[in-house]
Structure 1
Amino acid sequence: MFKQYGIELSRQTMSDWVIKSAALFTPLVKRLKEELLKQPLLNADETTVNVVKSDKVNSYMWVYCSGADSPKPDSPIPNIVLYDYHTSRAAACVMDYLDGYQGYLHVDGYQAYEKTQASLVGCWAHARRKFIEAKKLQGKNKTGKADVVLSLIQKLYGIESRLKDKSADESYQTRQAQSKPILDKLKQWLEKHQPNLVGNSK
């Protein structure tokens, strides 16, 4: 954009702007993190990020955000999303960032999150993916155990889609009345069939 107006700016100059801006934003990020850690539910994930001229093979951006439901009533900030850059995927990264947090933490199955003090809650998309992988082994147009679980998960998805614009209280009541019986049925089914499955097979 600058070049279109005949302004020559080096990459170094623009990088310096970003670095200086980041320093100015530090108090705001600190304040946002204070509010984030007060929330009853957080979502977290980490992903690789390319870094120019980095000696490290992999760099990671860890992301933390307040839960999808309404924030804590006394929080002045409705939704918070913060990024934490590291040259590692070690558990220490998340342990340091969430030090002392004891609310619910919605994550995938990565073991690093188990080292935190939070109560972990799993991701249905990740769980569902495993049953889709198992379904593929059944062969085309064949049904089996995976279909039973996928059908129950689909019912849960349907309930959630109807709760999209509902309040946290209404969502809770609906989940207790409609989702919990499905989850109970799923738990019983899994406990019944799990002992008959082979070790690490899909």
Structure 2
Amino acid sequence: MAVVAELTLKPFDFPLGKLLTAGARIHIEFERIVPVGPRVVPVFWAWGDDLPDFEERVRAGSYVNDLTELDRVDDRVLYLMDWEIPDEAFLEGLQETNGIIRSAEGYDGEDWSFELLFPSYDDLSEFHNYSLENDIEYTLGRIYTLREAGKNQLSLSLTENQREALLLALQRGYFSTPSRVTLDELAAELDISQQALSERIRRGNESLLEQTLLDPESDDKRE
């Protein structure tokens, strides 16, 4: 039975993420399904400061063959990256345990949030053991099967970071009129940047509104 595990990972344990976000205030969000293997390429959205410099830096990466812009929506750019997978314990662990990255997002200097999909609990257990053996440190969140999740959970779910940001904003009165707390104050409490918090709240609200207002079977539903 397929199982989903939510976890957060330090940047130094995810060199690909470090390459994409290091040295710039760039936010990265991989597409919802990102296969991991030698014959596939990452597809991800990027937005933030100075995307031309970001593109130049990524293309100069030692294991990057090319970076191609696929689409542009407002200030967000969808990229496809042709690369040679380096010696990276996290990705190798996923390959060995049949795991795929269902979704992932990260920001410069901050922990990465992942939803990982495994064919079974046994595969997830093997990934955990592999991580222990290779000193991969992560914080595990929710674990659930696709059957338990249901159709809505399959297509829409809040990340732990989004859930934490929305809950804190609600508790502190950010959504009140007038607001009882500023975005900067909330960001300081979470020890993240104001831009990163703003994006978590925006993406979290978007997911909640889609789940509430859109028919899961509707063609109007945004992928």
Larger helix proportion, structure 1 or 2?
A: 1
The structure number with the bigger radius of gyration is: 1
Greater relative contact order (CA < 8 Å, ≥ 6 in sequence): 2
TM-score by length of 1: 0.27
Larger strand proportion, structure 1 or 2?
A: 2
TM-score by length of 2: 0.25
